[in-house]
Amino acid sequence: MSQSQTAIEQSIARPLTTLSEDEQMFRASVREFAEGELRKRVEEMDEQGRLDPALTKLCFDLGLMGIETPEEFGGAGGSFFQAILAVEELSRVDASVGVLVDVQNTLVNNALIRWGNQEQKTKYLNQLASEKVGAYALSEAGSGSDAFAMQTRAVDGGDHFVINGRKLWITNGKEAEIFIVFANANPEAGYRGITAFIVEKSTAGFSVGKKENKLGIRASSTTEIILEDCPVPKENVLGEVGKGYKTSIETLNEGRIGIGAQMIGIGTGALECAIRYTGEREQFGKHISEFQGVQFQLAEMATDLEAARLLVYNAARMKDAGLNFVKEAAMAKLYSSRAAERITSKAIELYGGYGYVKDYPVEKFWRDSKIGAIYEGTSNMQLQTIAKLIISGK
């Protein structure tokens, strides 16, 4: 890494006072991996719209796919905050790998850790920590923000449930072998019939459908999931029958902090590029970073990023401390996704015409940032959550 690059990173360094020595070392190790193994693959993966399988294996080998999973189940036994640091550092280089690790840790693993029984944890957490990618299948064509409107059905078949339905926008859908699938086992009860199931890719009647051709995070697979008379044994019910709505809501609250981490990683990568470029680009006989107008834009970007990072870190700390973090998670996701869009857009403008072409990295950061306002709860849903909680006095 060049001396100038190191200086740029130090100029927008994370607030080190909030990190323990172990956390700083962990973050440094993830950054080393991102720079050494990930960066050289980013352009090709984005162009091809697929993750390099060798890179996914490296994520497992380094323990990044089971950060918070207890050691007894093959994981690293780390904290939620460490998972957030990993997502941030990976997304600074490539948000597609960032969301691969994010979904694995903050959604799939977290759901099993919190709601799984001992047998389920032993069987599935070990696999998810060592070799198998997981996915979280909640959304449907008519059930996005209104998750309770899902049409996927689970019919009691004695010692198993038979599931029929289609899921859309499933992150990791192509790579995953273990899915957390939500279906309504009692439609007459409305949302109180929604149940979470652990479904393996090899199950009869289960198939992966269309892979979406996306604007951003192109290497991350987003697919349709099809279940046709799919038999799932009753021991694969995650939590209790009819309590899936609680599982989905509470797991997504944690996942939103992960998306916040992805967004601040994207913002960091774009800002570093902008600082470096403006210090090299010359116009009117001097570097454009010497112009006050450019300096002010960089200052605005850095301030936006720092505010977003502190919101995300605070929400993650609250989660680890066992505090109620729902409002803080919503604020972190809302603000960080908006900040990432602003920062990456300004980075493109500072690059001028070069910012608009794929020969330079900032256009990808901008494309990757847009999804932050959409998945795991749109910005409008975050505003609704925040408003409800502040008005109620919570």
Predicted local distance difference test score (pLDDT) of residue 1: 54
pLDDT surpassing 70 at residue 12: no
pTM score of the predicted model:
0.95
Tally of domains within the chain: 3
Q: What is the pLDDT of residues 237-281, one digit of tens each?
A: 999 999 999 999 999 999 999 999 999 999 999 999 999 999 999
pLDDT of 2 over the 80 cut: no
Return phi, psi of residue 154, to 5°: -125, 120
Identity of the amino acid at 226: I
pLDDT band at 148 (very low <50, low <70, confident <90, very high): confident
CA separation (Å) from 30 to 38, 126, 158, 257? 10, 22, 47, 18
Residue 252 and residue 362 in one domain: yes
Tens-digit pLDDT profile for residues 312-366: 999 999 999 999 999 999 999 999 999 999 999 999 999 999 999 999 999 999 9
Q: Where is the domain boundary, 117, 133, 149?
A: 133
Residues 62 and 129 in one domain: yes
Q: Are residues 121 and 219 in the same domain?
A: no
Per-residue confidence (pLDDT) for residue 328, from 0 to 100: 98
Indicate whether 250 and 288 sit together in one domain. Answer: yes
Domain final residue pick, 181, 215, 242: 242
**In this structure, are 260 and 379 located in the same domain?**
yes
For residue 85, the enclosing domain spans 3-133
* Catalytic residue flag (residue 376): yes
Last residue of a domain, one of 180, 213, 242: 242
Q: Which two tokens stand for residue 44?
A: 């090709």
Residue 17 has pLDDT above 50, yes or no: no
Q: For residues 29 and 117, state if they share a domain.
A: yes
71 and 147 housed in the same domain = no
Residue 3: per-residue pLDDT: 55
Per-residue confidence (pLDDT) for residue 394, from 0 to 100: 66
Q: Does one domain contain both 202 and 280?
A: no
Per-residue pLDDT band at 393 (split at 50, 70, 90) = confident
Question: Which CATH number belongs to the domain containing residue 308 in this structure?
Answer: 1.20.140.10
Q: Which of 225, 173, 174, 180 is nearest to 198 (CA)?
A: 180
State yes or no: pLDDT of 74 exceeds 80: yes
Compute the mean pLDDT over every residue in the chain, rounded to the nearest whole number: 95
Do 267 and 195 sit in the same domain of this protein?
A: no
Task: Please pick, among 89, 224, 363, 376, the residue that the annotation labels catalytic.
Answer: 376
Tell me: do 125 and 163 sit in the same domain: no
Q: What is the pLDDT of residue 293?
A: 97
What pLDDT score does 15 carry?
Answer: 52
Same-domain status, 69 and 201: no
Does residue 30 sit in the same domain as residue 67? yes
Whether the CB-CB separation of 316 and 105 falls below 8 Å is answered with no
Sign of the CA dihedral 289, 290, 294, 297?
Answer: positive
